[in-house]
Amino acid sequence: MNQQPQKIVALVDGSIYSASVCDHAAWISLRTGAPVELTHVLGRREATDTQDHSGAIALGARTALMEQLAELDGQRAKLVSHRGRAILEDAKAILERAGVTEITTRLRHGDIVETVAEVEADARVILIGKRGEAADFAQGHLGSNLERIVRASHKPVFIASRAFKPVTKVLVAYDGGASAMKAVDHIAHSTLFQELSVHVVTVGSATTEVTRALSDAKASLKAAGIEVETSVLPGQPETTLGKLVEEAQFDMLVMGAYGHSRIRSLIIGSTTTAMIRSCKVPVVLMR
């Protein structure tokens, strides 16, 4: 039975990262044949103000003022919706220029995490920019929505870098934990990674257990026809991985969202957070 390819859900917000999100979505779509769903979420603050402000006010002047404010709220809500549609149209145009043909657009009201929860069932990946609209003012911080989505999503989260660059070399951070093993399995079964060069690395000591785990990961990827190398590097993951990405000119980093020794909590693993913050290449996170 031929299954429909699962869609790529690309979250666009009109920030400087939106064009890169679209370019990466196009790259994934053209390599996998998956359709793209462009989603823009209007937060609750941006939605129309439905509160009745007139409640206890009886004076005519105040009532008139409240009516004017209500009218302004309505106008603002319309403008915000128009802006959202314009962002989606611009995003769609980028994808069309890249040659993507199956594109849908979705303007949603509400919370972005709730939106992701609703749409991720038939998504193969959730794509989001590293930072949101305040990107230029908060370069040391991750977008708050990004952190919330990574915590909540059960699908791979693809975090787009600021600028798109075709991907040929992929680094996989492998600690032998469940999410790292899931990452290797995902790579082995995804057409996205075919014909790419993959390097699986563990940061730490080359124990028997580590060597065996890397050997298993290599065998799994080789069986899928993927060109793969493995290595064990000394040091701390945050600094060692970041240095390796830069010096060996990797185009993408794939890693588990949680380390295997970390108690599963509502907080993303500290190594993961550090890598997203420092890496200038896209980061793909697996739960």
pLDDT digits (tens, 9 = 90+) for 196-230: 999 999 988 888 998 999 999 999 999 999 989 99
Percentage of residues in the chain having pLDDT higher than 70:
81
Report which DSSP code applies to 224.
T
Fold match flag (7-46+81-159 vs 165-286): yes
Residues 6+ apart with CB under 8 A from 166: 27, 251
CATH architecture for residues 165-286 = 3-Layer(aba) Sandwich (3.40)
Q: How does the average pLDDT of the chain come out, rounded?
A: 82
Q: Could you tell me the residue ranges of all domains in the chain?
A: 7-46+81-159, 165-286
Report which residue type is found at 25.
A
- Quote the pTM value: 0.83
The predicted structure's pLDDT at residue 272: 66
143 confidence band (pLDDT: 50, 70, 90):
low
Residue 44: is its pLDDT beyond 70?
no
* Residue 259 vs residues 21, 128, 181: alpha-carbon distances, Å: 26, 22, 11
Residues in the chain: 287
Dmax over CA atoms of the chain, in Å, equals 82
Residue whose structure tokens are 């069309």: 96
Topology given in CATH for the domain delimited by 7-46+81-159: Rossmann fold (3.40.50)
Residue 156 contacts residue 284 (beta carbons within 8 Å): yes
Cα separation, 67 vs 56, in Å, equals: 14
Percentage of residues in the chain having pLDDT higher than 90:
45
Residue whose structure tokens are 């769609």: 92
Q: What is the pLDDT of residues 219-275, one digit of tens each?
A: 999 999 998 999 999 988 778 888 899 999 999 999 887 654 443 333 445 666 667
Average pLDDT over residues 126-155: 68
Residues 6+ apart with CB under 8 A from 126: 9, 11, 116, 120, 149, 153, 155, 156, 157, 158
The predicted structure's pLDDT at residue 232: 93
Residue 157 contacts residue 126 (beta carbons within 8 Å): yes
Tokens of 53: 């402000």
Pairing of β 227-233 and β 103-109: unpaired
Report which residue type is found at 252.
M
The predicted structure's pLDDT at residue 180: 83
Average pLDDT over residues 5-28: 92
Cα separation, 130 vs 284, in Å, equals: 11
